[in-house]
Amino acid sequence: MATKILIIDDDPIIRLLAVEKLSEEGFVVIDAMDSATGISLALHEKPDLVLLDVVLPDIDGYQVCQHLRSLPATQHLPIVMLTGLDDTSSIVQAYDFGATDFFAKPINWKLLGYRIRYILRASKTFEQLAHSEAALANAQRLAHLGSWEWYPQADITERSDEYYRIYGMTRDNLLPSMFAVLPQVHAEDQERVKAALEAAMSKGLPYQHEFRILAPHNGVRVLHEQARVFKSEQGYIDYVEGITQDITELVDAQQRIRNLAYYDALTGLANRQLFRELLQHELQRAQRHDKQCALLFIDLDRFKRINDTLGHDVGDMVLQIVGNRINTCIRSSDIAALHQANPTKNEQVARLGGDEFTVVLTDIAQPEDAAQVARRILEAMAQPIQIGTQELIISASIGIALGPQDGYDVESLLKNADLAMYAVKDKGRNSYHFFDHTMNETVLNKFALENDLRKAIEQDQLELYFQPKINPLSGDIVGAEVLLRWKHPHRGMVSPVTFIPVAEESGFIVELGAWVLKRACEINREWQSRGMPIVPLAINLSAANFRHHDLLPDIRRTLEDLKLQPNFLVIELTEGILMNDVDETIQTLQALKDMGVYLSVDDFGTGYSSLNYLKRFPLDELKIDRSFVKDIISDPNDAAITAAIIGLAQNLKLSVVAEGVETTEQADFLLRRGCNTMQGYLFAKPMPQEDFEQMLMSGINMGEMQAVFMVDG
Ligand SMILES: Nc1nc2c(ncn2[C@@H]2O[C@@H]3COP(=O)(O)O[C@H]4[C@@H](O)[C@H](n5cnc6c(=O)[nH]c(N)nc65)O[C@@H]4COP(=O)(O)O[C@H]3[C@H]2O)c(=O)[nH]1
Q: What is the pLDDT of residues 85-113, one digit of tens each?
A: 567 888 888 899 999 999 988 899 999 99
CATH code of 344's domain: 3.30.70.270
From the list 495, 464, 465, the residue with the least C-alpha distance to 685 is 465
CATH code of 160's domain: 3.30.450.20
515 lies in the same domain as 656: yes
393 lies in the same domain as 269: yes
In a domain, residue 334? The reply is yes
Q: Is 524 in the pocket of ligand 1 (CB under 6 A)?
A: no
Q: Which pLDDT value is given to residue 391?
A: 85
Q: What is the pLDDT of residues 186-242, one digit of tens each?
A: 999 999 999 999 999 999 999 999 999 999 888 999 999 999 999 998 889 999 999
Alpha-carbon Rg of the chain, whole angstroms? Answer: 48
Q: What is the pLDDT of residues 131-180, one digit of tens each?
A: 888 888 888 888 899 999 999 999 999 999 999 999 999 999 999 999 99
CATH code of 53's domain: 3.40.50.2300
Q: Answer yes or no: is pLDDT of 338 > 80.
A: no
Q: What is the pLDDT of residues 626-655, one digit of tens each?
A: 999 999 999 999 999 999 999 999 998 999
112 lies in the same domain as 11: yes
Q: Which pLDDT value is given to residue 58?
A: 85
Which of 206, 222, 246 is the C-terminal boundary of a domain?
246
Q: Is 516 in the pocket of ligand 1 (CB under 6 A)?
A: yes
624 vs 631: CA distance, rounded Å: 12
127 lies in the same domain as 182: no
In a domain, residue 307? The reply is yes
Q: Is 495 in the pocket of ligand 1 (CB under 6 A)?
A: yes
Q: What is the pLDDT of residues 611-631, one digit of tens each?
A: 667 888 999 999 999 999 999
Average pLDDT of the chain to the nearest whole number:
90
Q: What is the pLDDT of residues 690-713, one digit of tens each?
A: 999 999 998 877 766 666 665 554
Contacts of 624 (CB under 8 A, 6+ apart): 604, 605, 642, 645, 646, 656, 657, 658, 659, 675
CATH code of 578's domain: 3.20.20.450
Q: What is the mean pLDDT of residues 29-50?
A: 95
Q: Is 686 in the pocket of ligand 1 (CB under 6 A)?
A: yes
Q: Is 61 in the pocket of ligand 1 (CB under 6 A)?
A: no
Q: Which pLDDT value is given to residue 342?
A: 44
132 lies in the same domain as 147: no
604 vs 666: CA distance, rounded Å: 17
ipTM of the assembly? 0.95
Alpha helices (H) along 596-682: 611-616, 626-630, 636-651, 664-673
Q: Which pLDDT value is given to residue 336?
A: 40
CA 626 to ligand 1 centroid distance, Å = 10
Q: What is the pLDDT of residues 356-415, one digit of tens each?
A: 999 999 989 999 999 999 999 999 999 999 988 888 889 999 999 999 999 999 999 999
535 lies in the same domain as 664: yes
In a domain, residue 456? The reply is no
122 lies in the same domain as 179: no
> How many C-beta atoms lie closer than 10 Å to residue 115's C-beta?
16
CA 670 to ligand 1 centroid distance, Å = 20
Domain hosting 48: range is: 4-136
Give the position, in ligand 1's atom list, of the atom nearest the Cα of 686.
43
Q: Which pLDDT value is given to residue 192?
A: 97
CA 82 to ligand 1 centroid distance, Å = 121
Q: Of residues 474 and 555, which shows the higher confidence score?
A: 555
583 lies in the same domain as 674: yes
Q: How confident is the model at residue 343 (pLDDT cuts 50, 70, 90)?
A: very low
In a domain, residue 453? The reply is no
Residue closest via CA to ligand 1's atom 3 equals 660
Cis peptide before 404 (omega within 30 of 0): yes
CA 558 to ligand 1 centroid distance, Å = 24
Give the position, in ligand 1's atom list, of the atom nearest the Cα of 496.
33
Q: How confident is the model at residue 345 (pLDDT cuts 50, 70, 90)?
A: low
**Number of domains into which the chain is organized:** 4
Name the pTM for this structure: 0.54
Q: Which pLDDT value is given to residue 713?
A: 45
